[in-house]
Structure 1
Amino acid sequence: MTPTPQTLTAERILEATEEVLRRHGPAKATVVDVARALGVSHGSVYRHFSTKAALREAVTKRWLDRTSDSLSGIVAEDRDPEARLRDWFTALFAAKRRKAGDDPELFATYMVLTEESGGAVGEHLAELTGQLRRMVQAGVEAGTFSTDDPDATARALFHASRRFHDPRYAPEWEQPGTEAEFDAVVDLLLRGLKA
């Protein structure tokens, strides 16, 4: 008896695309390579993703969503706003460092893809600043933080901490002293927010 083939889903295609990108890099990876890895025709892949660009955008979004999804639990917690904000920055920095350090080839691939995928990157940045805004607002409501404009404050916090989450700074993340510099920046940001 022959095994029943797995149903082709968008998720399976994205998993295979990630593996193909890891093996071939963004310049050489094709939809045909993805289809071959799945044992299907490239037309089957195109039924889920109408273009190669749409597939690359979706795999980039999936990669970025892993970070924002992991941070959303911290945002939802009901505890001290200052500790929650510190934990969020720490988790964001750790997630970005892990991505850069654990699989440097795939990280380099995603650096290329994020340059192509303005929509996915824009959504990711909006999600992260939205998470910050929610925590700042919670801190204002608790009397811990002081700001008249949580949206502007969230954007300022995000930009002020950029060195510790923007992938362009990845080469600096493992240098000696980076942890102390990160702590100093977060301490400064939190002191500036206090009511």
Structure 2
Amino acid sequence: MPRTGLTPSEIQDKAVEIAIDQMRAKGFEKVRLVDVAKEMGISHAALYSHFQDKTALLDAVSERWLVNLDQKQDLLVSEKRDPLQKILTWFQNLHRMKLEKVKLDPELYKAFDMAAEQSKPFIQTHLSNMRNQMSKLVTEAMEQKKLKKKDVNMVTEILISAGTAFTHPKLVAQHCEENREPLLVQTIEAVLKGLV
């Protein structure tokens, strides 16, 4: 254990928390590892052993948010209720969580959007988690005869493609001042009706 009395995992968590505070206070472009280390009371060299550069720290901020988002969606997937309603709620939740981040945490959202553009590994993990979640919901709907038996992967792709206009980082930010949720609901309901 280092002289801080913190484990490596605790150091990383604390650095992420400080980075989040600094991003909110002065913008993600102005976050510096030297300042984060200073606030933690450790050398910047010690912090570099956990984050190779500022980008790695910003990625850790975005990754933490996506992990929490995915966990919330996993809870929805496991609920015992109508799978078609869960599919609709899944899209609404995803849209709302991203919209909330754009409006309440714009600097953190900018860092996330940059990571998404570069298709970082944790972004790929999130996209994979989304597909797995939707695939489970589609399978459940087919098993309950709420959807026609078709190729699960194809139906999953159809639904995710239909929802992309409301969940893609750039599009959520671009339309953040509009109430697009009614259109999202109509779009997903229309797709589901076509699949029934």
Determine if the TM-score, normalized by the shorter chain, exceeds 0.5.
Answer: yes
Other-structure match for 2:193:
191
From 97, 100, 122, the counterpart of 2:99: 97
Inter-partner Cα distance in structure 1 for 2:54 and 2:109 = 19
Other-structure match for 2:51:
49
Using structure 2 for the length normalisation, give the TM-score: 0.85
Using structure 1 for the length normalisation, give the TM-score: 0.86
- Structure 1 gaps, min length 5: none
From 166, 174, 180, the counterpart of 1:171: 174
Contact 1:17–1:59 under 8 Å retained in 2: yes
Matches within 5 A, 1:96-135: 96-116=98-118, 118-135=120-137
Once the two structures are superposed, what CA deviation does each residue of 1:54-103 show, in whole Å capped at 9, x if it has no partner?
33332221122222111111101122111111111111111111111112
Inter-partner Cα distance in structure 2 for 1:116 and 1:144 = 37
- Structure 2 gaps, min length 5: none
* CA shift for structure 1 position 167: 1.4
Inter-partner Cα distance in structure 1 for 2:122 and 2:148 = 32
1:182 equivalent in alignment to 2:178: no
How large is the Cα RMSD of the aligned pairs?
A: 2.2
Which range moves more in the overlay, 50-59 or 180-189? 50-59
From 33, 41, 57, the counterpart of 1:31: 33
Contact 1:137–1:150 under 8 Å retained in 2: yes
Other-structure match for 2:18:
16
Other-structure match for 2:86:
84
Question: Aligned with 1:143: secondary structure?
Answer: coil
* CA shift for structure 1 position 185: 0.4
Once the two structures are superposed, what CA deviation does each residue of 1:7-52 show, in whole Å capped at 9, x if it has no partner?
2432112112222233343433221122122221112222323444
Label 1:114 to 1:90 Cα distance change in 2 as closer, same or farther (>3 A).
Answer: same
Contact 1:60–1:114 under 8 Å retained in 2: no
What is the number of equivalent residue pairs in this alignment?
190
